[in-house]
A and B are shown apart, each in its own frame.
Chain A
Amino acid sequence: MTDQAASRRPIRVGLFVTCLVDLMRPSIGFAALKLLEQAGCSVEVPSQTCCGQPAYNSGDRANSRALAEQVIRAFSHCDYVVAPSGSCAGMIRKHYPELFADDPNLAPKARLLAGKTHELTSFLVDILGVRQVEAQYDGSVTYHDSCSGLRELKVKNQPRTLLASVQGLTLVEMNESEVCCGFGGTFAVKYGEISTAIVEKKTENIANAQTHTLLAGDLGCLMNMAGKLSREGKPIAVRHVAEVLAGMTDEPPIAAPASSTL
């Protein structure tokens, strides 16, 4: 294959859908798939389970290594690995190299994979140069910056850039959009009371933004905020940003019934 031919070959993206999306909300995976294909990528979905973050953050290095090795094996042939999650992309990008730092065999492979792994909106904007999507969403939205994406991967303007191109959509910033929602993986269950106190501040800020919809880029945070909004009876539609960017909002919002009018 000549260089020229190689450069015309579509970019091969491995979609790391994340276990949470795989299990809880497949529609986010399909939205990510559509966005990547619209941007001209050839997308494949290698067989996958979990990136290992729950084990890693619980101090269980053996299981986190086993799961990380599994991901490295499944995705190393791809040009890029893209995840609709700052948290899981951050795990691969920032923490896999740390996890294998003392393993001369796997360290280079972990670093290689880390270097080509991206959060979805960051991949579209920063790597592919996408500035516009073809989507319509009638209503006002507010956006929560999930912690790992924001601080580990510097995901901040990318989703906003893309949202600005959605027809009919108005973005209203909430106060403290960069403050944690209190999810923190197992933290939300282990320290439920503290997690609740943190998410209460968050839902207050969300409600004060007075928008129809709440968006974010990580399903864990979204489930936490949607679960709290639902328990508080605050009628705000909660969705992953990819659903809106892909124009795939037929499924009811997170924690809303099939008959939802939101």
Chain B
Amino acid sequence: MTAHPTTSRFKDNAHEALGDDQLQKAMLNVRAGFIDKRAAVAAKLPEFEALRDSARDIKNHTLAHLDLYLERYEQKVIEAGGHVHWARTAEEARQIIIDLCQKSDAKIVTKGKSMISEEIALNAALSKAGITPVETDLGEYIIQLRDEAPSHIIAPAVHLNASQVESDFRRVHTHLDADRDLQEPVQLLTEARQVLRDRFLSADIGITGANFLVAETGSSIIVTNEGNGDLTQTLPKTHIVIASIEKLVPTLEDVSQILRVLARSATGQEMSVYTTFSTGPRRATDVDGPENYHVVLLDNGRSSMLGTDFQDMLRCIRCGACMNHCPVYHAVGGHAYGWVYPGPMGAVLTPTLLGVDKAGHLPNASTFCGRCESVCPVRIPLPKMMRHWREAEFSRHLTPATQRFGLAFWAFFAKRPALYKTLTPWLMSLMHLLGRDKGYLRALPLASGWTDSRDFPTPQGGTFQSQYRKQKSNGRAA
């Protein structure tokens, strides 16, 4: 679903999204559902800000010694009886997973929610290889039925309303009573659970992502609210973890620290309902668990971010707080961003993964309001990094010509105070005359983006500096 990015068509996508009434209605849930809850739960914890510092520091430390921790992690996974596979690219990761599936003759694969799976477009690759992927997170299950990409990194179906889900279930679950009542969200949930229960039991392999990988123990950790991840990874014979390399943290103590900011920042919960640790396959004394345990570690461009302006982005723990608080995301939803990662974190990460020539709109489509940075649990300076992308674009002459011309024109005068001082009072007085009757202008050349929907206030005439100097020379007490 995510193989063909539409990031370069961001403006068209946004236009469509702004006219989509169902989407606009659903997006109100983001504001209501996430922001107040996060604020309330953060306010209840006096050490919340200190924990954010700590989470940032743990991730910084890990990234500074990532090679060391990755090697230690691999060693520990092997000691626990598991296998580690290194994937440099999305293609390599897909191939490793398909090979593992084919070796065990797998037909059905259940999946816990994983953004890396979306990033490497795993479902399409599995299907092509004759393997049926079944998403088991409710939101992921819904968008799989609709053949859509997630629109949010923790709430994949947040762009939908319950009535849309109801009609999808009626369309797909044709084996169920056609007259059943699906008015209430809980009825939708129950139905999804019933349908998925059979799939859990028939799956040959379970694939999950990982919120964290622990170097100290070789454990992978997932946090969920539905328990689907646990069933995905314990019931089938084989558990495959797909995770990117920056998910590493050194110790269990470090994870405990970061978990305290993760759910609070994401959903406003103190902890997610399930926090599940997996360390290797089932041991002789375990009552359940998979017989085989594999980890696929994906780089896909991340190691090239180390030591650059974008290294801080690798701290991201995928909580979604940045998009939950983003006015642009609220306005256009996640699909407009055109690939896997939407919102402010996507605006920084996507150009790294796809190239700024394809994803240049994303870091530009920001007001730099800074609300994302103000809520980021690991204090990633997201606006600053978007600005770095704009600088990269500017130096590669990718910035649109009208904007370059406008800037150059403005800078020409702004860098010549004498010229500026001579011309601006006249220019402003002229503009004042044009709009003085109404106090505003209905249209301005080259600024239709503004004046199509807003009036442009008329200047008062003259400039402050010219008036101030005149007053001063007329004997105003200095």
Contacts and interface: CB of A to CB of B under 8 A. Distances in A.
A83 B407 CA distance: 22
A21 interface: yes
Contact of A59 (B387, B413, B454, B465): B387
B370 to A, nearest CB: 4
A72 B408 CA distance: 21
B410 A26 contact: no
B174 interface: no
Interface in B420-463: 420-421, 424, 428, 436-440, 446-450, 452-460, 462-463
Contact of A47 (B371, B374, B417): B417
A23 B459 contact: yes
A169 interface: no
Interface stretch (B139-147, B293-301, B389-397): B389-397
B465 A47 contact: yes
Given A25-B459, A54-B410, A57-B368, A192 B18 contact: no
A227 B454 contact: yes
Given A22-B424, A57-B387, A257-B438, A187 B367 contact: yes
Interface string B346-373: 0000000000000000001111111101
A192 B454 CA distance: 9
Contacts of B417: 47-49, 70
A18 B410 CA distance: 14
Interface string A47-67: 111101011111111010011
B411 interface: yes
Contact of B455 (A55, A63, A231): A231
A188 B414 contact: no
Nearest to B447: A189
A226 interface: yes
Nearest to B325: A179
A201 B18 CA distance: 13
B355 to A, nearest CB: 16
A217 interface: no
Nearest to A198: B327
A120 to B, nearest CB: 14
B69 to A, nearest CB: 29
B346 to A, nearest CB: 15
A45 interface: yes
A55 B411 contact: yes
Contacts of B463: 22-23, 26
Given A26-B463, A49-B413, A57-B387, A188 B450 contact: yes
A260 B327 CA distance: 33
A57 B454 contact: no
A26 B467 contact: yes
A50 B18 contact: no
A76 to B, nearest CB: 16
Interface in A233-258: 251-252, 254-258
B194 interface: no
A63 B411 contact: yes
A257 B465 CA distance: 23
Instruction: Report, as a range, how many residues of chain B touch the other chain.
Output: 35 or more
A193 B14 contact: yes
A47 B358 CA distance: 42
Nearest to B444: A189
Contacts of B424: 22-23
Contact of A50 (B374, B414, B457): B414
A187 B365 contact: yes
B455 A49 contact: no
Contacts of B26: none
Nearest to B361: A191
A48 B465 contact: yes
B414 A19 contact: yes
A97 interface: no
Contacts of B421: 47
B399 interface: yes
Contacts of B15: 193
A163 B11 CA distance: 41
Interface in B152-184: none
Q: How large is the interface on A (under 10, 10 to 19, 20 to 34, 35 or more residues)?
A: 35 or more
B468 interface: yes
A173 to B, nearest CB: 16
B456 A223 contact: yes
A30 interface: yes
B415 interface: yes
B90 interface: no
A60 B400 CA distance: 13
Contacts of B18: 193-194, 197
Given A23-B463, A25-B460, A190 B364 contact: yes
A141 B411 CA distance: 37
Interface stretch (A110-118, A124-132, A145-153): A145-153
Nearest to B363: A59
Contacts of A165: none
A191 B449 contact: yes
A252 B460 CA distance: 9
A247 B467 CA distance: 19
B332 interface: yes
Contact of B449 (A61, A190, A199, A258): A190
A17 B465 contact: yes
Interface in A199-247: 199, 201, 223-224, 226-228, 230-231
A136 interface: no
Contacts of A159: none
A223 B414 contact: no
A29 interface: yes
Nearest to A202: B327
A57 B415 contact: no
A67 B416 CA distance: 10
Interface of B: 11, 14-15, 18, 327-328, 330-332, 364-371, 373-374, 384, 387, 389-395, 399-400, 403, 406-408, 410-411, 413-415, 417, 420-421, 424, 428, 436-440, 446-450, 452-460, 462-465, 467-468
Interface of A: 17, 19, 21-30, 33, 45, 47-50, 52, 54-61, 63, 66-67, 70, 98, 147-148, 151-152, 178-180, 182-199, 201, 223-224, 226-228, 230-231, 251-252, 254-258, 260
Given A22-B424, A58-B403, A180-B367, 15 more contacts: A26-B464, A55-B407, A55-B411, A59-B399, A147-B369, A148-B368, A188-B449, A189-B449, A191-B365, A192-B449, A193-B18, A223-B457, A230-B457, A231-B455, A255-B456
12 contacts: A23-B463, A45-B468, A55-B407, A58-B394, A59-B392, A60-B411, A63-B411, A66-B415, A184-B369, A196-B454, A226-B455, A230-B454
